Amino acid sequence: RWYRRKSNLHHVWDVDVIEQAMKDFYGKDQDAMVKAIQRNITEDWSREEKQWEACRSKTKTCADKYAQESAALACDAYKGVEQDSTLGDEYYSEALPVVEKRIAQGAVRLAAILNRIFSGNGKLQSI
């Protein structure tokens, strides 16, 4: 359960935490949340950003690296969560920074891939 609403952990991480953050911190404004994440990328996480896009090898190898990161985070997410338990403020406050950082990492990595594909001349390139 997510607060009083029936949910599952996958939905909590993909939807519920984001929607709750938009209500709590961004006045239900998705653009405000996006701008905050962009600001975190350029300010708070600027040193980490280069590492996020650093995978220059084959796409499959990069995807494996990203999947391993997600799997490790998923293991942490499940710690202490029992079947039919209710997740609330404490879980939310721990999950939100991770969710926002994963959104940022995905954005940076997608941008890097698209930049490599289109490599400045507008023509599709292989990676």
Q: Which residues of the chain have pLDDT under 50?
A: none
- 38: in domain: yes
Residue 69 in any domain: the answer is yes
Structural domain including 103 reads 9-118
> Is position 2 within any domain?
no
Residue 90 belongs to a domain with what CATH number? Answer: 1.10.575.10
State residue 121's pLDDT score: 57
Angle at 25 between CA 19 and CA 30, to 5 degrees: 50
pLDDT at 50: 86
Considering the domain boundaries, does residue 34 fall inside one? yes
C-alpha span between 114 and 125 (Å, rounded): 10
Please tell me the predicted confidence (pLDDT) of residue 123: 56
In a domain, 98, yes or no: yes
Tally of domains in the chain: 1
Residue 125 lies in a domain: no
Task: In whole angstroms, give the CA distance from residue 47 to residue 22.
Answer: 26
